[in-house]
Copies of this chain bind each other. A is one copy, B any other.
Amino acid sequence: MLIVQKYGGTSVGDLERIQNVARRVRRVRDAGHQVVVVVSAMSGETDSLVAMANALSPLPPEREMDMLLSTGERKTIALLAIALTAMGTPSQAFTGRQVGIETDSAHTRARIERISGERLRKSLAEGYVPVVAGFQGINAQSDVTTLGRGGSDLTAVAVAAAIQADRCDIYTDVDGVYTADPRIVSNARKLDRIAFEEMLELASLGAKVLQTRSVLFAMRHGVPVQVLSSFTDQPGTLVTKEDAEMEQLSVSGVTYDRNQAKVTITDVPDQPGVASRLFKAISDANIMIDMIIQNVGHDGCTDISFTIPRTDVAKLRSHMGTIRLDGSPLTIDVDDRIAKVSAVGVGMRSHSGVATRMFDTLAQNGVNIKMISTSEIKISCVIDERYTELAVRALHDAFELGVVPGGTS
């Protein structure tokens, strides 16, 4: 098999851990596989570079920040290639540029536009283990760019797609994807497999295992991704195309997100174009809206509610303060003591009654539902924040996701 392995900053945090990673890579290679490794900067490195830049400037130019930050991953690839070679496993280090990762010019949050993989295939054919710097690419001006949060995962998936790898293994500090957050739900179960679509919903609903755009990239290019721990030898969770086995479950996981706030704008004139004017203003401020509800009008007026990231509340207030719809300022009501709980599963497509069971379960536990949104494979409810744990545990039980005590699943 041709396997891409990605190790995060904690896994390569010091020289000893780099040697552990090298041993792990060598084992997989000795078992007869071809391996390409993608690594992040050593943990702490990026923070220390950011601190240096901030000591020099309140607002460092983004092009120069990318140059600075990209040194972190370059250091790790050289050190890991040196460690592998010293163990008798010939290895070559490659920057994002060298493996042909071309991005747009949005410094600090660039998007991958192309990746060639030619140099990697050559290195593999010559018997090397290529070690690739995550998180970085190069734009059309031949300047270094970085890919933003979760960028190294994205590099790994993109590299796997470019060389048509059989699998992309993302080593992290958790050992897989769970039916629910194990810190909240004691009998949460690690999933062996999960569909791309489910992982995508889980990622965008607040599960921190993989970033949305890495999952999207993997799904688009059909790259099976395994999430697993670099501190154990257990298999993790395989994120892959939906298959027959998965469909037996109606719901695969229950998740929650406490980083949202519910905003209500009251007494909005109930006229065509008003809502679009409001939402254009919000989008101009680069604020992402999640759910929207427009209430039934009364006396020619209506209320509009929506959720936004809690961190954007101040930005929203200052932006909306300037808007006049009928001469008077908007009445803005913010409730940031909310949480969004969601049930996700491709099985919903063939199982009816998932929504009913979710609403019933919340009602039986005295949890009031403030907003609802659904997609083909997920149902989300906004509830009072203090019921978060209660709701997640109740739903996890209701959908029979837990480990059967003494059983095997």
Interface residues of A (CB under 8 A from B): 15, 18-19, 49, 52-53, 55-61, 63-65, 67-68, 70-71, 74-75, 77-79, 81-83, 85-86, 91-93, 95, 97-98, 142-144
Contact = CB atoms under 8 A, between A and B. Distances in A.
B83 A15 contact: no
Contacts of A52: 15, 79
Each complex incorporates copies of this chain amounting to 2
A140 to B, nearest CB: 13
Contacts of A92: 63-64
Given A53-B78, A67-B81, 18 more contacts: A15-B52, A19-B56, A53-B82, A57-B82, A60-B85, A61-B81, A61-B82, A64-B78, A64-B81, A64-B82, A64-B93, A65-B78, A65-B82, A67-B74, A68-B74, A68-B82, A70-B74, A98-B143
A212 to B, nearest CB: 29
B71 A56 contact: no
Contacts of A91: 64
Contacts of A55: 15
16 contacts: A18-B56, A53-B82, A60-B86, A64-B85, A64-B93, A65-B78, A67-B77, A67-B78, A67-B93, A67-B95, A68-B75, A70-B74, A71-B74, A71-B75, A95-B144, A97-B142
Contacts of A19: 56
Contacts of A64: 78, 81-82, 85, 91-93
A44 to B, nearest CB: 14
Contacts of A85: 57, 60-61, 64
A158 to B, nearest CB: 19
Nearest to A58: B86
Contacts of A18: 56
Contacts of A63: 92-93
Contacts of A97: 142
Contacts of A95: 67, 144
Contacts of A78: 53, 64-65, 67-68, 71
A83 B57 contact: yes
A250 to B, nearest CB: 50
Nearest to A83: B56
B82 A60 contact: yes
A181 to B, nearest CB: 37
Contacts of A49: 75
A390 B85 CA distance: 52
Contacts of A65: 78, 82
A56 B15 contact: yes
A318 B56 CA distance: 54
Contacts of A58: 86
Contact of A79 (B68, B70, B74, B144): B68
A313 to B, nearest CB: 30
Contacts of A81: 61, 64, 67
B79 A53 contact: yes
A53 B65 CA distance: 26
A92 B66 CA distance: 12
